[in-house]
Amino acid sequence: MEDCLFCKIISGDIPSNKVYEDELVYAFTDIDPQAPVHILIIPKKHIESILKVQDGDFQYVDAMVKAAQKIAAEKGIAQDGFRIVFNTGENGGQTVHHLHLHLLGGRYMEWPPG
């Protein structure tokens, strides 16, 4: 999608602080972090939301979760715990309509989240 913020980040048209990249996903630090570690993990294929994931797309979701595991270990938050979140739709807090996984850690996570 030519007007998608995350597609522009993947293409390099918009700069980001890259944390991880492989053939399926790209991860970067959130510009408005809600925890000491706040990484966004996005598929390189434009998928609007978790509701739009189709049978052939689950490889991207798998790669996103695997990336979260690797990044959590690298950032030193795997031992104490972390949170991963897919925001979906307006009431779910999704502001960019490109599937993305939030990896949050480095502090105690309250429940309910808000």
Distance CA 7, CA 75 (A): 25
Annotated catalytic residue within 38, 97, 98, 100: 100
Structure-block tokens of residue 77:
């938050």
- Is 102 noted as a catalytic residue in this protein? no
Q: How many CB atoms lie within 10 A of CB 36?
A: 11
Element (H, E) at 104: strand 101-105
- Letter for the amino acid at 32? D
Candidates 99, 36, 98; CA nearest to 72 is 36
* Residue 98: Cβ-neighbour burial (10 angstroms; 0-12, 13-18, 19+): buried
Residues classed as catalytic: 100
